[in-house]
Structure 1
């Protein structure tokens, strides 16, 4: 069966229209809030149901307070002033409960498929635990695996921030790290780093495998502006492995994003602490200056102190840009996290 990726708004509208018309709706679930009853990648089939007819223990698709589609379990059903209100929560996150008016329910899960086989919906233990607010993720082996990996990443990250580790890693890897412009030969490695294709040979048939990729381009860059402008892809190579990458962009919208910008900086965890981030930033500054740029900007979350201190040591300082600063203030009010603009002059 062909698969189509939809954004949340389109998904919610399509599901609502199909279910309102009496049809069944099938989709692939993503996330871990319903583990182990529903796991990431399970295929769910929903039937139409009026919210007033949903029962305690049902797994339903509903619109949350932000009008986003969510699949969670009904824990409590109550009548309030003649209206039915459902208390809905995720099995694996029982503290995150919501009081949902019945009319926000779109459909009820009637089938779960995992690896091509059907999974039983009637699981009294999981339903009972969820209704009592007991975290069902503790029964999921995958949750324990994720928890162990998170602990390991945290421990490794703490070690990598130690000064002696940075010196040791720098001395061991420093000589083998080479930062350069990406070429078409780097397509596969960049896709693995970013989770999607950055550029393809079909998009740029004149590009050769060993020629740097640098063109006027349009990208679906999620963390920055519309990149219909100049874009350079920078990579750090450790032997035959790609250790990190970054985007250097001169957006077409120079009113909001003037000059050059560094976006999507990423260093593979195993290579962190060896100074690769600094090397990529230096290359970005050199390239921006070589292309006539006066300044380079970047965005960083205010609470990301290690990154803020790194950029400070490299000469970046907090700055303000009229249009963008206002947009960032509005987003911080909505999301509760603030990005700050940091800027430095290009080397001469």
Structure 2
């Protein structure tokens, strides 16, 4: 979702004060778990308690809001970075610093129903995506056939 750094700061403040924020999903990088228009609820995330496979809301250095799956936490020169990736993206995002983290996904409103995390189905899907990266190829091929004229953002092309 395009946003500027001021908007990112305001969203961080809403989460800090209210305890959560709900944002509409854009794009297809987390398809089929999160689809265009789903309402995603994020709560504050404590960097030290993040687990591999969780979906984290962060802002890129250019100010875009992105919610992708946590692949790993890495430490280089005493600097902690987070590797995240969209389920349908071929590659991981640029490493993200702790100051770029905004929140952790806790539920997805899909219109008629709401998925609350953690749930067994979401956990199984997360493990499948992490263990079988080839699924990304099949998901992207499906999306390309289904929506051949859709324009993907640079973070979704990875």
- TM norm structure 2: 0.75
* 1:83 lines up with 2:79 in the alignment: yes
Q: 2:52 aligns with which of 52, 56, 63?
A: 56
Q: Distance in 1 between matches of 2:23 and 2:126?
A: 22
Q: What is the CA distance between 1:16 and its match in structure 2?
A: 1.4
Match of 2:37 among 18, 21, 41: 41
Q: 1:50 to 1:120 in 2, by over 3 A?
A: closer
What is the number of equivalent residue pairs in this alignment?
145
Residues 58 and 109 of structure 1 are in contact (CA less than 8 Å); yes or no, is this contact kept in structure 2? yes
User: Is contact 2:2-2:65 (8 Å) kept?
Assistant: no
| Cα displacement string for residues 178-228 of structure 1 (whole angstroms, at most 9, x for unaligned residues) | xxxxxxxxxxxxxxxxxxxxxxxxxxxxxxxxxxxxxxxxxxxxxxxxxxx
Matches within 5 A, 1:5-20: 8-9=3-4, 11-20=7-16
Query: Where does the alignment leave 5 or more consecutive residues of structure 1 unmatched?
Result: 1-5, 154-334, 336-348
Computing the radius of gyration over CA atoms, which structure comes out larger, 1 or 2? 1
Tell me the SS of whatever aligns to 2:48.
helix
Which residue number in structure 1 is paired with residue 126 of structure 2?
127
CA distance in 1, matches of 2:44, 2:147: 39
1:95-141 alpha-carbon deviations (Å, 9 max, x no partner)? 1432111221010010111023112543234322433533447359x
Candidates 107, 111, 117, aligned match of 2:107: 111
User: What's the offset of the Cα at 1:8?
Assistant: 1.4
- Residue 24 to residue 70, structure 1, CA distance change in 2 (3 Å): same
Q: Please tell me whether the aligned partners of residues 30 and 40 of structure 1 are also in contact (alpha carbons under 8 angstroms).
A: yes
Gaps of 5+ in 2: none
* Partners of 1:86 and 1:34 in 2: CA distance: 17
* Change over 3 Å in CA distance of 1:145–1:92 after alignment to 2: closer
Q: Runs in 1 of length 4+ with deviation above 4 angstroms?
A: none
1:31 aligns with 2:27: yes
Q: 2: distance between equivalents of 1:129 and 1:64?
A: 26
Say whether the 8 Å CA contact 1:88–1:99 is kept in structure 2: yes
* Cα RMSD after superposing both structures: 2.8
- Partner SS state of residue 95, structure 2: strand
Give, in whole Å, the separation in 2 of the partners of 1:81 and 1:7.
31
State the TM-score, normalizing by the size of structure 1: 0.37
CA distance in 1 between counterparts of 2:92 and 2:143 reads 22
Name 1:147's counterpart in structure 2.
145
